Structure 1
Amino acid sequence: MKKQIVLMDRARMERTLKRMAIQVWERINKENEGEMVLIGLNERGEATARLLGESLEELMGTDIAVHRYDVQGKASKSSLPDCNDKFVLLVDDVIFSGKTMFSALSAVCSVYEPESIEIAALLDRGHRKYPLRTDLMGITVPTKPGEHIEVMLKDGSLSQAVLFKNN
């Protein structure tokens, strides 16, 4: 039987993403970056990026478009926005092996020349197979084999993050 533990509810996700937005804002101001491109990976990454984008809009006083990039195997069905000479923030809900993020990063770099790229994840499970690190993360939850973390959506918005444990 699988045991479920709620790691984050909606309110905690909002607080965490607001803190992450402040960190992004500080980086952009320090480095005097040009335009920012916010890309959410797949459905849950897009929902995470939308909530992060709302906090960034409040801080920056400007509209920020959130783009969705669907990573599926070696090819994607969605296209990337123009990332040339821009600060690119790749956002996912959970990062584990790094495969999804690596695929998105490779796609951006194979087509564009961004000013800089950073990686953000609401939850970091550790256990990377790919040489990636998260620049911005909400919480780190090292998992054991057989455990899984899923961010639940309700009507397309973040609802809660749940750890599924065996026994």
Structure 2
Amino acid sequence: MKKQITLMDRPRMQRTLHRIAIQVWERMGNDKELVIIGLNERGYATALELSENIADLLGKDISAHRYEVSGNSSETPLPDCNDKFVLLVDDVIFSGKTMFEALSAICGMYEPDIIEIAVLIDRGHRKYPLLTHMSGITVPTKAGEHIEVMLKDSKLKEAILFKNK
């Protein structure tokens, strides 16, 4: 039987995304064009809500783009990232494989000015040399544990840690 622990509820996610939006605004400066790319379904849901927070800070519309890392990524082509501030967004980062594949795709096609990573939850245990400077919480998990961000109507609902009892 698995034990479930709620790591983040909806209000906490909203506060976290607002804080990350402020960090993005501080890092990007006034002269850079921002491109937000959400990875897969949950990363895109996170990116959409983050882009709303950033748009409120900047006073202009900021759109988020969806990029499907696994499967047929040609169905969701990457936006132009040349000479731009690129923000890669995912709900949870663990080994870094998904993020690394997205970074490889972007750098294989474009030359961004800077690329930053933002995530709601950092599980640690990286296999790839990636750092997240903007994350909501860090939860180093054990073998057999899993974190899942739940969606309701394509909006972030809660983050659950599933532990083996």
Q: Normalising TM by the smaller chain, what interval?
A: over 0.9
Unaligned runs of 5+ in 2: none
Aligned position for 1:118: 116
Amino acid at match of 2:8: M
Aligned position for 1:76: 73
* Alignment of 1:22 onto 2:22: yes
Deviation at 1:33, TM superposition (A): 3.9
| 2: CA distance, partners of 1:37 / 1:134 | 17
Aligned position for 2:105: 107
Moved segments of 4+, more than 6 Å: none
Give the 5 Å matches for 1:125-140.
Answer: 125-140=123-138
Unaligned runs of 5+ in 1: none
Q: Contact 1:87/1:116 (CA < 8 Å) preserved in 2?
A: yes
Q: Contact 1:33/1:86 (CA < 8 Å) preserved in 2?
A: no
| 2: CA distance, partners of 1:23 / 1:131 | 22
| 2: CA distance, partners of 1:142 / 1:162 | 14
Aligned position for 1:160: 158
Same amino acid, percent of matched pairs: 71
The count of corresponding residues between Structure 1 and Structure 2 is 164
| 1: CA distance, partners of 2:10 / 2:44 | 16
1:114-161 deviation digits (Å, cap 9, x = unpaired):
010001110000000011111211100000000000000001010000
* Structure 2 residue matching 1:94: 3-state secondary structure: strand
Query: TM-score, normalised to structure 2's length?
Result: 0.97
Aligned position for 2:39: 41
| 2: CA distance, partners of 1:23 / 1:64 | 16
| 2: CA distance, partners of 1:52 / 1:157 | 11
> Cα RMSD over matched residues?
1.0
Query: TM-score, normalised to structure 1's length?
Result: 0.96
| 2: CA distance, partners of 1:28 / 1:100 | 24
